[in-house]
Every structure is written in C-alpha cells, then in structure tokens.
Structure 1
Amino acid sequence: MTESVQQLVRYTRIQEIVGDVIRLRASGVALGDIAEVENTDGEVSIARVIGLDRNIVSLQVFTGGKGLSTDATVRFLGRPLDVVYSPNILGRIFCGSGEPIDGGPLLTTDRHVPVGGPTVNPVMRVMPSRMIETRVPMIDLFNSLVESQKIPIFSVAGEPHNELLARIGFQADADVLVFGGMGLIFDDYHFFRKSFEEHGVFGRTIMFVNQASDPLVERLLIPDMALAVAERFAVEENKRVLVLLSDMTAYADAMKEIGVAQERIPAVRGYMGDLYTQLAQRYEKACDFKGAGSVTILTVTTMPGDDVTHPVPDNTGYITEGQFYLHGGVIDPFGSLSRLKQHVIGKETREDHSQVMNTMIRFYSEAVESERKQAMAFELSPFDKKLLKYSKLFRDRFMNIRVSLGVDEALDLCWKTLAECFEPKDLLMKQHLIDKYFPDIAEKETG
C-alpha cells in the first residue's frame, strides 16, 4: 500500500446506530466515500458516506444495521464506490452493490470505474438530431424518441409500464441496453430478464437490479451504476446506449427514508428539499457526445393516486424533455409530449410525417368529442359517424402498446386508415402529399 493511500485510511468505532445509518467521528472523509464495517464477529459490510456534519460522519450500511455492534470497526477506503466496466459485462446481471448475481464468473480482473461524478461539459454535447426507432407507433409517429433525450413514462400502479419499458428495450435500435431496476418484486425482475432473453437482446444488455427485499441503500446506487457504465460505453466504445430505469418514484422514496434516518428536515410531502437536484444529476447524464456515442434515458415514474402534482413527477417534468403518459393501458396522445421530436420529424423520417401526425391527432381529438355526443344521445352528423369509425381504428392500430410497426410501415397504415374513413378533401393536408400517398379508391374499398 502506498503512503498516500495509507494516509486516507481511518480506523474508528461507531458512536450511534439508527436503522441502517451509523454515525461516528472521523476526519479527512469525503461525501460518497465507501468504507468497510467489520463487526465483532468478523463479518465485513460495505458502507457509504451519506452525510457530513463537521467531524460527525453518517454512513449507510448496505446490509443494514441489524446485528451491528457499536464496537464494530470502520475502515475508510478513501475512494468513492466504483463499478466494473468492460465488454465482459454485456449479458450480465448485477445487484445494487455491483456484485454479479447471475451465477456467472467473477470479474475481479476487469477495470473498475467510479460511480457518480459530474455531468458532461456542455461544450462536449452535440445538438440532438438522430431518432431512436422503438417500433411503438404512439412514440415513433407522435412523440419521437431522440438520441440523448431524457424522458419518463408517467404511470400509476396497475398500468403496464414495465411491459412498455421492456418492449421499447428489445425493439429500440440501440447498440447497448442498460437496465436499472429499483425496488422490483421478483415477478417484475423475472419478466424483464425473460423479455430480453426471448427477444435476443440479452447479449447486449447489462442489468442492475435491486429487488424489494434488498437493502435500501443499494436502491440509490442503481441509477448511478447504470449511468456510469452507459457513459463509458458511449464515450470509449462509440455506442448508442439506451438506459431504462424503473421506478424513479421508488428511488425518491428511498432517498426520503434515508433522509428521515439522518434526521433531515423534510420539505413537500416528506421528501427532502434537494429532490430536484438529486433527480437532475441523474437525468442530465443523457448526452450526445461530440465525436463519440450517446446516452438516452427512459424511465418509469409512477404517480401515487394518479397525481401529476406529486413531488416526484412534478420535479421530473421540469427536468426532462417531455413525457409518455400511460393511461388506461395505452399511451395517451394528449398527455404525452416529446419536446425534441421536431429535430427528427421530416428530417430523419419521411416527408409526410409531420402532416400525417398533425392530421391523425386532430381527427382523434374531434372523434373524442363525437364519442361524448354519442354518449349523451345527441344527434350525430355524417362526419361524426366517420370520426367514430376512425377512433376505433386509431385505438386498435396505433394506441395498443403491443402493436409493433416500423416508422414507414406505420405512416402507410395512417394513410390507409385515413382513406378508410375520410375523403381527400376532409384531410386539409398539402395536396402534393395527398396525391403521392393517399390510397386509391380500389384500395380503400378492399381495405
């Protein structure tokens, strides 16, 4: 051991144990440093510095404080937590402490990279300009996902948000897939693993999983480890990396519990005052790197009580570049938004994309009004009846999250749907696009 490392090592005893948090006196310790806690029976646990108050250091013990003695010895390692990184981690599954849990070989000789750290220097960021095709029509057609975008799926308990997240993962045209699960029940963990394996993407996937029964502190490490690995693949391997995180509300709840254990004063609804900062530090890792690859972040954010003003979705909305709003088992076209879609629509996609997108949504909005008129027993006009037929086709062909279509294939289906329900004069679109793409009458009748 070198002299500089020896100077960073500190041996001390515990003064207080509150739940999974231990407190002691120490100096020369930095926030985020890790330590080894050796109990009186010789068992060693890993802990992380989560608070500093002058010379009082608070550490979160990964395995919890149960059975820990105040006579335990703490040895600070003088470095932050790191995670293994190399091409060998593709197709591997790790727990929240970074240890493999898939029964595969240990990666002791592979390189380790620090977890956390600052976001990317703005001068190294490139303006987003490339689309990630997901084969989900409600995303690709109406709210396109753009490389380096950070965007959540707003949902509630019982909605198929994990199914949608997994589907985007195995259908998206990304080079590397990094999945981070926080507070997952075993069934959800098994579902994600099985989905990636069955659809042939597991070989280019890395999974970091914290199950509901795992230590709480590891839940906070999942996004940082996933993003650290994603950033290395993007910068050093020039890969287009898609990061999937579920569920960021579970992540925020873990921060709240630890804040209570630290006796911090809560802000709104019990969450700590730095909730926005903590979320932003993770989301801002999304980047299209100059001369390298990109990191795109897609998360699940559940809304307790379907309340979009809840602190977690509320703060998330200020950070991210839109949201996919999952409601009633479908992606709601009115609640969803991609603020970067204008960078790719008509540029990366076909010339008719913008006009088709606007026309389809306009007709669906009018169709919803016609459905209300029908429900209230008002008289329906011939055009209302066209709209009612259109709304059924629109929901079946595009809003169902299980539908899988390429962008051009979906655009062609849009034209076919419009032709089955309306006349060209009803569309109010550019004439040259109607002349080029609108199906002829024979195709309309056979459809």
Structure 2
Amino acid sequence: MESQLQQLVRHTRVHEIVGDVIRVHATGVALGDLAEVQNTDDEISLARVIALDRNLASLQVFAGGKGLSTDATVRFLGRPLDVVYSPNILGRIFRGSGEPMDGGPDLSTEPRVKVGGPTVNPVMRVMPTKMIETGIPMIDLFNCLVESQKIPIFSIAGEPHSELLARIGFQANADVLVFGGLGLIFDDYYFFRTAFEEHGVFARTVMFVNQASDPLVERLLVPDMALAVAEKFAVEENKRVLVLLTDMTAYADAMKEIGVAQERIPAVRGYMGDLYTQLAQRYEKACDFKGAGSVTILTVTTMPGDDVTHPVPDNTGYITEGQFYLHGGIIDPFGSLSRLKQHVIGKATREDHSQIMNAMVRLYSEAVEAQRKQAMAFELSPFDQKLLRFGTLFRERFMDIRISMPVTEALDLCWKTLAECFEPQELLMKQALVEKYFPKDVGPVAVNEAPIHG
C-alpha cells in the first residue's frame, strides 16, 4: 500500500505536449485522477488523466498547454475531481475548475462530493407524476415539463435560447436551480447572472461557468459538477432541482478538440465515436428519487446550419424525452415534443387540459393551411376565415416566449380564444367539457390578420 502511494505522488517528467494535452510515463494512476503540473517557472496547474495506454498517461491541463516545457514535472494526487457541496454554495458562482469566482466567503472547509460516477440505480427511480410549471404557455399547455425529465431546447444561432432558458429558470416552480454555462461569452454569462438576481431566484441558484476564454477542459467538467451537486441536493436535502445547461454542442465540440489532440480516430463529421455514450451518461442523471427529491435536466443544443441530423442533436434525440424546438423566435408547436406529458396532463392539471391541447394544435394546423390557401389566391370558406382569425390570436396570445401566465389561466384563455372564433359544435370536443368551460358571453373578435408561422 505504501509503495502504491509513493507511485501516486511521485514526480515524473513530461514526455510530450500536444495542444493542451501532455503525456507522461506513469504507473499506478487511474482514469480521471488529478495531477499537479509544475512548470520550470514553478507555476503549478491542475491536470486530469483523460487516457491511459499501458504506462503512458494523457492529461488535459486545465490552464492549457501554452508555455509548458517538457522539463515540467507532474505529481499525481491519487484522487479524482471533486467539488464543494453544502447549502452554503447556494447563491455562489464557480469556475469550470470548481473554484469560486464571485469573491464570496471561503469554502475550503466545506464538504466535497466526487464528480462523475455511475447513473442512478433503477430501483431508486420512481415514475414521473409531477409537473414543473414554467409559466410559458407553449410549454405548460402543449409540451409539459415533467419532474425528472431530460429534454433539450433545439435552436440555431441567433434564436433567443438564452432568454428562454433564463425565463424557465426564474419562473419554474423548482426548489433549487443549478446552472452550467459552457463556453459562454461574457455577455451571456452576465445576462444569466443578472436575470437570476433581478427575478429573486439567485439565493437558491448555483452557477458553474466556463467562459469562451477559459480552458477547454473545464468545459467538459461543468456538466459533471453541476449534476453532482444537483444529485446531492435532491437526495440529501429532498429538493426538486432543475439543472440548466447551455450549450451542449459546445460540450461536444470540446470533446472533439480533445480527441484530436489525443490522435483518436474521429467518427461522423469529426466527432468522437463515443459521443452518444458521453451525452447519455450526463442526461441519465435526471431522476425522481424514491423517498427523496428529483433532478430535472433542461439543456440548449444548437444545431449548426439548422441541421437536425447533425451528430449532436441527432444523438441527443435518441437519449432525451422530447425537445422544445425554438424556431423563428417561438417554440414551434409542430417540432416540439414532450414524451412524458401524458403523465401529468389531466392529472396534475385540470380535466380539460388534454382536449384543449389537442383542439388548439389541430385548429392551428388548419389555420396554417388556410393561410397557404389565401396566399395562393384560392377562395376561402367562412370556416377558413374563422381559422385565420384563430391563427392570429393563437400566435399573439400563446406563442411568444415572453408571455407568462399560470397554466389554469392559460386554459381559460384557450376557451376564450375558441369562443371568439368558433361555434361550440365546430370544436369537435367532448360535449361535457364544452358545456362546462365554453364561455357563453364571448362573441367573435376582430383581429388584424398577420402571417402565421408554418
């Protein structure tokens, strides 16, 4: 045992430097172990073992490989990465290395939790039955966010995905918010921090931030650290935890860069062959724990060139339970999907939710067709005119991501909108629900018709 410890802490010289990855000859080390790299100017940087090939260990240097010399020495610490965890981390901001970056009180004496590790034992999981209300009608009405769900926001550059993610964060009825920023520019980091502070949720928020100028390896550590503390809050504090991660495409790109530095053979479009596995290991941390709290994971996944077949969104779609498709500044009702919504619609929500959801989307789809008929100068029927009016009201009242209202109020507004456009018999809904909820004192409303999103 003593000789093994001596091997773990012994110094060894750098054999090779490739970008931010260094290779050293070492024995007795494990994948994921931490090490200290001391350069010739006595500057010390942390590194992490990312690959082993017999007695050759590859380490990713947190501070990057720039300025490192092959005369630098490496001291293995004999332990994997861990992160501070206690209730005192709420309201704090950490770097991708796990060190505080907000100038707050010292946390060095607080307990720490191991980063990474296996996903939850299936016997500890329970069937999701609770809804996380976000106050955003296009989510709460049509694609409910369910506690313990893992779901991405599919978006492209230029779409307001940061605004949507932040809004979900400060409006969702969760106990703890854990935010992970991956390769953020400063403006985005400042936006999220300010949004959480101004809306009064920062005191129950933990932020792990890797900015675009920070070391690449920290980008890979942020999701693991965020999920490690989220799981602790859920299991030990019985909290409903919402984890927000942006952007998982930046995470995959960081994996690709490190894979190239390791001279690994790439797969599709330069990404590593284990992309699916690496993504799944993180997403599968979402769980509703038996006798404890829950972890719900919501991420942003940008699609280069709006290509849903790109390896990152394509692999993500096989792992997650649906997606919110952000298109044209709105959550597209046709491209979005929540595979767990049936667990809460009509159970955690009002009895008319399912019928309203189906009728609204069906009629909006018909409104899009009516808009196309109008654009091609076809003759429109009286019912087509009603559909056009409905489509305009639907877009104005529900589709803007800045609209906020409780789900019960949104259901009432749906009935009001239907009553302003259609007769009860035109809705093709259950008669008992129509008699109970259809407003009797609401008539047709005049609207300024605008192009409908298709």
TM-score calculated relative to the size of structure 1: 0.98
CA distance in 1, matches of 2:97, 2:2: 26
CA gap 1:56/1:2 in 2 versus in 1, 3 angstroms: closer
The correspondence of residues 236-275 of structure 1 with structure 2, limited to 5 A, is: 236-275=236-275
AA partner of residue 443 (structure 1): V
Is it true that 1:110 corresponds to 2:110 in the alignment? Answer: yes
Residue 445 of structure 1 and its aligned partner are, at CA, apart by 5.8
CA distance in 2, matches of 1:118, 1:4: 25
CA distance in 2, matches of 1:249, 1:191: 20
1:44-85 per-position Cα deviation (integer Å, ceiling 9, x unaligned): 000000111111100000001111111111011111100000
What does residue 51 of structure 2 align with?
51
CA distance in 2, matches of 1:78, 1:117: 16
1:119-144 per-position Cα deviation (integer Å, ceiling 9, x unaligned): 00000001111000000100000000
What does residue 368 of structure 2 align with?
368
Tell me, yes or no, if the aligned pair for 1:175 and 1:241 is still in contact at 8 Å.
yes
Q: Which runs of 4+ in 1 moved over 6 A?
A: 1-4
What does residue 320 of structure 1 align with?
320
CA distance in 1, matches of 2:204, 2:358: 36
How many residue pairs end up in the alignment? Answer: 446
Is it true that 1:444 corresponds to 2:448 in the alignment? Answer: no
Tell me, yes or no, if the aligned pair for 2:231 and 2:295 is still in contact at 8 Å.
yes
Aligned to 2:443, what secondary structure does the other structure show? helix
CA distance in 2, matches of 1:393, 1:30: 60
The correspondence of residues 375-390 of structure 1 with structure 2, limited to 5 A, is: 375-390=375-390
Alpha carbon RMSD of aligned pairs, Å?
1.3
Q: What 5-or-longer segments of structure 1 have no aligned partner?
A: none
CA distance in 2, matches of 1:303, 1:326: 11
CA distance in 2, matches of 1:66, 1:302: 29
The correspondence of residues 72-87 of structure 1 with structure 2, limited to 5 A, is: 72-87=72-87
CA distance in 2, matches of 1:372, 1:290: 50
Is it true that 1:221 corresponds to 2:249 in the alignment? Answer: no
CA distance in 1, matches of 2:247, 2:150: 14
CA distance in 1, matches of 2:121, 2:169: 28
Residue 7 of structure 1 and its aligned partner are, at CA, apart by 5.3
AA partner of residue 231 (structure 1): E
What does residue 176 of structure 1 align with?
176
Sequence identity (%):
83
Tell me, yes or no, if the aligned pair for 2:182 and 2:210 is still in contact at 8 Å.
yes
Tell me, yes or no, if the aligned pair for 2:134 and 2:172 is still in contact at 8 Å.
yes
CA distance in 2, matches of 1:397, 1:167: 17
CA distance in 2, matches of 1:302, 1:201: 26
Residue 9 of structure 1 and its aligned partner are, at CA, apart by 1.9
AA partner of residue 356 (structure 1): I
CA distance in 2, matches of 1:8, 1:72: 17
Tell me, yes or no, if the aligned pair for 2:31 and 2:50 is still in contact at 8 Å.
yes
Tell me, yes or no, if the aligned pair for 1:416 and 1:444 is still in contact at 8 Å.
no
What does residue 335 of structure 2 align with?
335
Residue 444 of structure 1 and its aligned partner are, at CA, apart by 3.0
Which has the larger displacement, 6-15 or 284-293?
6-15
Aligned to 2:104, what secondary structure does the other structure show? coil
Residue 10 of structure 1 and its aligned partner are, at CA, apart by 2.8
CA distance in 1, matches of 2:57, 2:91: 37
Aligned to 1:41, what secondary structure does the other structure show? coil
1:349-406 per-position Cα deviation (integer Å, ceiling 9, x unaligned): 0000000000000000000000000111111110000000000110111110000011
1:220-278 per-position Cα deviation (integer Å, ceiling 9, x unaligned): 00000000000000000000000000000000000000000000000000000000000
1:189-231 per-position Cα deviation (integer Å, ceiling 9, x unaligned): 0000000000000000000000111110100000000000000
CA distance in 2, matches of 1:5, 1:201: 45
AA partner of residue 90 (structure 1): L
What does residue 133 of structure 1 align with?
133
CA distance in 1, matches of 2:390, 2:86: 51
Residue 8 of structure 1 and its aligned partner are, at CA, apart by 3.0
What does residue 92 of structure 2 align with?
92
CA distance in 2, matches of 1:211, 1:5: 36
CA distance in 2, matches of 1:235, 1:6: 36
Residue 6 of structure 1 and its aligned partner are, at CA, apart by 4.6
CA gap 1:446/1:66 in 2 versus in 1, 3 angstroms: closer
Which has the larger displacement, 260-269 or 426-435?
426-435
Residue 443 of structure 1 and its aligned partner are, at CA, apart by 3.1
AA partner of residue 359 (structure 1): A
TM-score calculated relative to the size of structure 2: 0.97
What does residue 452 of structure 2 align with?
none
CA gap 1:446/1:367 in 2 versus in 1, 3 angstroms: closer
Tell me, yes or no, if the aligned pair for 2:4 and 2:28 is still in contact at 8 Å.
no
Residue 180 of structure 1 and its aligned partner are, at CA, apart by 0.2
Which has the larger displacement, 101-110 or 7-16?
7-16
Q: What 5-or-longer segments of structure 2 have no aligned partner?
A: 447-454
Aligned to 2:281, what secondary structure does the other structure show? helix
